[in-house]
Amino acid sequence: MSEPLKENQNLVIRRALTEDAVELNEFYRNIILETDHFGYEVDEFHITDEQQEHTINMFIQADNAILLVATLNDKIVGNLSFRAGTSKKFQHVGEFGVQVLKDYWNLGIGKELVQCLINWAKKNETIYKISLRVRADNKNAIHLYKTLGFMEEGILKGEMMCNGTLHDLIYMGIVVD
């Protein structure tokens, strides 16, 4: 069971703002050091603060994409990014990634972030389905997604390479129309 947040800890889930760029980059650099489940290796993350600001701005302008941050007492401790396709045939479906700093795992923050995405997608007139890919051994993430109604749709064999080892990914999805 997730431990509930203490009442004095002020968890806020909100859209990322351009002024979050520096802290968000620092957050990503910490996540890369803490977990193998993020898409970048430590020597591959070269996004400047200006580029991050530009990316955040693109998310703010987009109708079918969203970048969320979870802040606890004003510190970014979690993040979620979702983008739907750009062509007419794929604009109704998109994938997301979610990360929480290790010190804050099992407090329900990941669940709040994904629930916020689902709520947003339900109100969005274009989005029909949310998908994700998760490493088959990422048990807490898989548990979290299943709790929120995501279904396993298939296995992508050897899709991810971590330190020379191939890992299967599970493709999951939820219809939100």
Contact 138, 101 (CB under 8 A): no
Instruction: Provide the minimum distance between the beta carbon of 147 and ligand COA in the complex, in angstroms, as a whole number.
Output: 5
Instruction: Provide the minimum distance between the beta carbon of 129 and ligand COA in the complex, in angstroms, as a whole number.
Output: 16
Number of alpha helices (DSSP H) and beta strands (DSSP E) in the chain: 4, 7
Please identify the residue of the shown chain whose CB is closest to the bound ligand COA. 110
Nearer to ligand COA, 44 or 125 (CB): 44
Summarize as ranges the residues that interact with ligand COA (CB under 6 A). 1-2, 35, 37-38, 97-100, 105-111, 132, 134, 138-141, 143-144, 147
Instruction: Provide the minimum distance between the beta carbon of 18 and ligand COA in the complex, in angstroms, as a whole number.
Output: 24
Instruction: Provide the minimum distance between the beta carbon of 145 and ligand COA in the complex, in angstroms, as a whole number.
Output: 8
Phi, psi at residue 155, to the nearest 5°?
-110, 135
Nearer to ligand COA, 20 or 53 (CB): 20
Report in angstroms the alpha-carbon separations of 13 from 24, 69, 80, 87.
14, 6, 10, 29
Nearer to ligand COA, 57 or 120 (CB): 120
Nearer to ligand COA, 32 or 53 (CB): 32
Tokens of 2: 């997730």
CA 123 to chain centre: 19
Contact 33, 42 (CB under 8 A): yes
